[in-house]
């Protein structure tokens, strides 16, 4: 199949796209916050309707694209509320299939978590459901379906949920970029090969068209001396981003909605696995009239230019501001290392999984209850990823771990596969303690941790939210292939 961008293997650039598209007259969506924004009114009631729609992902002369979306926009409306607010979301399903809404990263009551059959009856076509919860944490979150996510999210059902701090840090602009990756055909329609077995057993459905807030980006106009709080959200099924901001050194101030000590990453790049969020302080250090390119360099030989920072001719100020960047911590309970109970979790399966397990000295018989002899059989059933030897068939299953409420836990995770996995736990945030036995510099709180092939990661949490919670890989094709489990907090 011919893909828009993959015709040249070396450079999946929007510039190539623009070679064949009109090169002028593109309206930049990024000068202001995108127009789909909805501020919850004083009653903090938001209506969301899921349906099919059309949207312009790629510029003329390409067609617009049939999508599935909330309130006729991709992304769905940005919901902004204040920390401590109670929000009601009146959801109306006008799709032809069942769905749910999951509030990714939000610590809320189990019944509001939006997992079909596990926490609620799926919302049937034509039915409604009322989600209602308190926003106890400030930060950058997002919402998406949890039913057949590999297709529902992949067709455009997602939006951002921003919980504002009561006293936000001072910035000139607060900007959200919802990153997504689409597999478009030459017609600009979405390729129908959702759940493709090759995608499932490799790195998931990586597409050929990257959008920011639902449009293939051109540039964002900035001003010399300006300070932007940039909220990055990776809504892609499978694509991992590693953003390079050229001469800028973005300061990371929050991960997955949770504040972190402001710091610059080792190489100044920002890595986001699927579902992850990073809040940045971006000081505009370029000179008036200059241009700077933000590129994504994660996949070797497939680097591309994401968006240009276009400096206006006049500076906002002559020096970058020295305003404080540190956010107030959310009310998370600190896990105790002394009394923590330790559990181990092992991820196996996928293409070349046998080889990695052998290399890591892991006995395949014990790691996969079905035995590797039947790998082909499992592939046939499209179950090819395992957590502690089990490939999930659906959202309802016996818990892989049962945790006692309010106790501290350390979970030692091993990625015994040849692929990256963003591992997500519902209903809780956890501290990432170490990677390959080396302590993390900031013991960052996250709800989704990206594990590299063969990597070992230790996390710690207090199991303070009762219920059955999903624990899964957020590469949605891996999830479909069995890479999920349930953790019960009693
Ligand atoms: Cu973002 Cu289980 O999901
Ligand atoms: Cu995975």
pLDDT in tens, 409-454: 999 999 999 999 999 999 999 999 999 999 999 999 999 999 999 9
CA of 301 to the centre of ligand 2 (A): 22
Q: Domain containing 249: what range?
A: 175-311
CA of 332 to the centre of ligand 2 (A): 27
pLDDT tens for residues 270-297? 999 999 999 999 999 999 999 999 999 9
User: What is residue 361's predicted lDDT score, i.e. its pLDDT?
Assistant: 86
Does 350 fall in a domain? Answer: yes
Q: Which of residues 364 and 277 earns the better pLDDT score?
A: 277
Domain final position from 290, 311, 332? 311
Nearest CA to ligand 1 atom 3: 104
User: What is residue 44's predicted lDDT score, i.e. its pLDDT?
Assistant: 86
User: Is residue 413 located within the same domain as residue 384?
Assistant: yes
How far is it, in rounded angstroms, from Cα 217 to Cα 67?
A: 18
User: Is residue 426 located within the same domain as residue 300?
Assistant: no
User: What is residue 218's predicted lDDT score, i.e. its pLDDT?
Assistant: 87
Q: State the DSSP H helix or E strand holding residue 134, giving kind and residue range, or none if neither.
A: strand 128-134
CA of 426 to the centre of ligand 1 (A): 7
Q: Which of residues 4 and 157 earns the better pLDDT score?
A: 157
Q: State the DSSP H helix or E strand holding residue 355, giving kind and residue range, or none if neither.
A: helix 353-359
Peptide bond preceding 61: is omega within 30 degrees of 0, i.e. cis?
yes
CB 279 within 8 A of CB 254: yes
User: Is residue 154 located within the same domain as residue 285?
Assistant: no
Domain final position from 142, 166, 190? 166
CA of 245 to the centre of ligand 2 (A): 27
Does 60 fall in a domain? Answer: yes
Atom of ligand 1 nearest to the CA of 105: 1
Does 92 fall in a domain? Answer: yes
Q: Which of residues 462 and 13 earns the better pLDDT score?
A: 462
Helices marked H in 71-227: 149-152, 197-201
Ligand number nearest to the C-alpha of 349: 2
Residues touching ligand 1 (Cβ under 6 Å) are 102, 104, 144, 146, 275, 424, 426, 470, 472, 474
Q: Look at strands 173-182 and 227-234 and give their pairing.
A: parallel
Q: What is the largest CA-CA distance in the chain?
A: 67
Atom of ligand 1 nearest to the CA of 484: 2
Ligand number nearest to the C-alpha of 481: 2
CA of 227 to the centre of ligand 1 (A): 31
CA of 55 to the centre of ligand 2 (A): 29
User: Is residue 214 located within the same domain as residue 296?
Assistant: yes
Atom of ligand 1 nearest to the CA of 104: 1
Please determine, for residue 35, whether its predicted confidence score (pLDDT) is greater than 90.
no
CA of 239 to the centre of ligand 2 (A): 11
**Cα distances (angstroms) measured from residue 17 to each of 13, 65, 186, 200, 426:** 7, 16, 11, 28, 38
User: Is residue 287 located within the same domain as residue 355?
Assistant: no
Ligand number nearest to the C-alpha of 274: 1
As a whole number, mean pLDDT of residues 367-386 equals 64
pLDDT tens for residues 101-145? 999 999 999 999 999 999 999 999 999 999 999 999 999 999 999
How far is it, in rounded angstroms, from Cα 151 to Cα 139?
A: 27
Does 336 fall in a domain? Answer: no
pLDDT tens for residues 156-195? 999 999 999 999 999 999 999 999 999 999 999 999 999 9
How far is it, in rounded angstroms, from Cα 415 to Cα 198?
A: 20
User: Is residue 240 located within the same domain as residue 194?
Assistant: yes
As a whole number, mean pLDDT of residues 319-336 equals 96
Residue 467: name the closest of 119, 234, 90, 78 by CA: 119
Q: For 376, list phi and psi in degrees, rounded to 5.
A: -65, -40
User: Is residue 161 located within the same domain as residue 201?
Assistant: no
Does 1 fall in a domain? Answer: no
As a whole number, mean pLDDT of residues 215-238 equals 96
Q: Kindly indicate the confidence band of residue 12, based on its pLDDT and cuts at 50, 70 and 90.
A: very low
Please determine, for residue 28, whether its predicted confidence score (pLDDT) is greater than 90.
no
CA of 105 to the centre of ligand 2 (A): 18
Ligand number nearest to the C-alpha of 102: 1
User: What is residue 159's predicted lDDT score, i.e. its pLDDT?
Assistant: 98
User: Is residue 230 located within the same domain as residue 144?
Assistant: no
User: Is residue 62 located within the same domain as residue 201?
Assistant: no
Q: What is the CATH number of the domain that holds 441?
A: 2.60.40.420
Atom of ligand 1 nearest to the CA of 472: 2
Cα 426 → chain centroid: 13
CA of 104 to the centre of ligand 1 (A): 6
Atom of ligand 1 nearest to the CA of 426: 2
Ligand number nearest to the C-alpha of 118: 1
Atom of ligand 1 nearest to the CA of 479: 2
Atom of ligand 1 nearest to the CA of 470: 2
Sheet of strand 251-255, all strands in order from the earlier edge strand to the far edge:
209-212, 173-182, 227-234, 277-283, 251-255, 258-263
Q: Kindly indicate the confidence band of residue 36, based on its pLDDT and cuts at 50, 70 and 90.
A: very low
User: Is residue 426 located within the same domain as residue 445?
Assistant: yes
Which residues, in sequence order, are CB contacts of 99 under 8 Å at separation 6+? 50, 93, 122, 123, 145, 147, 148, 152, 157
Domain final position from 117, 140, 166? 166
Nearest CA to ligand 1 atom 1: 104
pLDDT tens for residues 395-412? 999 999 999 999 999 999
Q: What angle do CA 27, 32, 36 make, to 5 degrees?
A: 85
CA of 100 to the centre of ligand 2 (A): 22
Does 7 fall in a domain? Answer: no
Which residues, in sequence order, are CB contacts of 213 under 8 Å at separation 6+? 29, 30, 34, 75, 176, 177, 178
User: What is residue 10's predicted lDDT score, i.e. its pLDDT?
Assistant: 33
How far is it, in rounded angstroms, from Cα 120 to Cα 113?
A: 8
Atom of ligand 1 nearest to the CA of 275: 1
CB 225 within 8 A of CB 319: yes
CB 81 within 8 A of CB 44: yes
How far is it, in rounded angstroms, from Cα 38 to Cα 163?
A: 13
Please determine, for residue 146, whether its predicted confidence score (pLDDT) is greater than 80.
yes
How far is it, in rounded angstroms, from Cα 202 to Cα 407?
A: 37
CA of 423 to the centre of ligand 2 (A): 7
Query: pLDDT above 70 covers what percent of the chain?
Result: 88
Please determine, for residue 377, whether its predicted confidence score (pLDDT) is greater than 90.
no
User: What is residue 86's predicted lDDT score, i.e. its pLDDT?
Assistant: 95
User: What is residue 337's predicted lDDT score, i.e. its pLDDT?
Assistant: 86
Q: Kindly indicate the confidence band of residue 24, based on its pLDDT and cuts at 50, 70 and 90.
A: very low
Ligand number nearest to the C-alpha of 480: 2
Query: pLDDT above 90 covers what percent of the chain?
Result: 83
Does 323 fall in a domain? Answer: no
User: What is residue 18's predicted lDDT score, i.e. its pLDDT?
Assistant: 29
CB 107 within 8 A of CB 138: no
| Total domains in the fold of the chain | 3
User: Is residue 157 located within the same domain as residue 187?
Assistant: no
Atom of ligand 1 nearest to the CA of 144: 1
Ligand number nearest to the C-alpha of 158: 1
Does 154 fall in a domain? Answer: yes
Q: Kindly indicate the confidence band of residue 374, based on its pLDDT and cuts at 50, 70 and 90.
A: low
CA of 144 to the centre of ligand 2 (A): 18
User: What is residue 38's predicted lDDT score, i.e. its pLDDT?
Assistant: 53
CB 227 within 8 A of CB 281: yes
User: Is residue 345 located within the same domain as residue 485?
Assistant: yes
């Amino acid at each position: 199949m011919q893909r828009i961008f993959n015709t040249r293997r070396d450079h999946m650039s929007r510039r190539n796209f623009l070679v064949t598209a009109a090169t002028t007259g593109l309206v930049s969506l990024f000068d202001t916050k995108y127009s789909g924004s909805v501020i919850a009114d004083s009653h903090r009631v938001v209506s969301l309707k899921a349906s099919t729609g059309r949207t312009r992902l790629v510029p003329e002369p390409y067609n617009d694209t049939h999508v599935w979306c909330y309130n006729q926009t991709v992304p769905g409306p940005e919901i902004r509320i204040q920390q401590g607010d109670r929000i009601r979301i009146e959801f109306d399903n006008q799709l032809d299939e069942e769905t749910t809404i999951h509030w990714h990263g939000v610590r809320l009551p189990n019944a509001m978590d939006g997992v079909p059959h596990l926490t609620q009856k799926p919302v049937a076509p034509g039915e409604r459901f009322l989600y209602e919860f308190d926003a106890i944490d400030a930060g950058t979150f997002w919402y998406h379906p949890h039913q057949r996510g590999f297709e529902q999210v992949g067709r455009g059902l997602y939006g951002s949920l921003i919980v504002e701090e009561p006293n936000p840090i001072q910035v000139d602009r607060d900007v959200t970029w919802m990153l997504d990756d689409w597999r478009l055909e030459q017609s600009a329609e979405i390729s129908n090969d959702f759940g493709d077995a090759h995608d499932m057993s490799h790195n998931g459905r990586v597409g050929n068209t990257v959008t920011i807030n639902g449009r293939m980006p051109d540039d964002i106009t900035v001003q010399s001396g300006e300070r932007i709080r940039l909220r990055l959200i990776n809504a892609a099924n499978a694509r991992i981003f590693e953003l390079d901001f050229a001469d800028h050194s973005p300061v990371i101030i929050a991960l997955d909605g949770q504040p972190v000590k402001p710091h610059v990453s080792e190489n100044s790049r920002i890595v986001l696995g699927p579902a992850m969020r990073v809040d940045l302080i971006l000081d505009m250090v370029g000179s008036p009239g200059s241009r700077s390119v933000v590129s994504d360099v994660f996949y070797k030989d497939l680097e591309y230019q994401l968006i240009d920072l276009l400096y206006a001719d006049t500076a906002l100020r002559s020096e970058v501001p020295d305003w404080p960047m540190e956010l107030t911590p959310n009310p998370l309970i600190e896990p105790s290392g002394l009394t923590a109970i330790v559990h181990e979790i092992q991820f196996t399966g996928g293409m070349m999984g046998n080889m990695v397990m052998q290399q890591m000295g892991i006995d395949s018989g014990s790691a996969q209850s079905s035995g590797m002899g039947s790998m082909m059989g499992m592939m046939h059933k499209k179950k090819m990823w395992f957590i502690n030897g089990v490939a999930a068939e659906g959202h309802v299953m016996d818990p892989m771990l049962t945790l006692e409420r309010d106790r501290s836990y350390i979970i030692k995770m091993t990625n015994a596969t040849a692929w990256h996995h963003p591992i997500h736990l519902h209903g809780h945030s956890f501290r990432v303690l170490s990677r390959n036995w080396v302590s993390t510099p900031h013991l960052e709180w996250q709800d989704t941790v990206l594990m590299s092939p063969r990597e070992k990661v230790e996390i710690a949490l207090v199991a303070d939210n009762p219920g059955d919670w999903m624990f899964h890989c957020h590469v949605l094709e891996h999830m479909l292939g069995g890479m999920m489990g349930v953790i019960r907090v009693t």
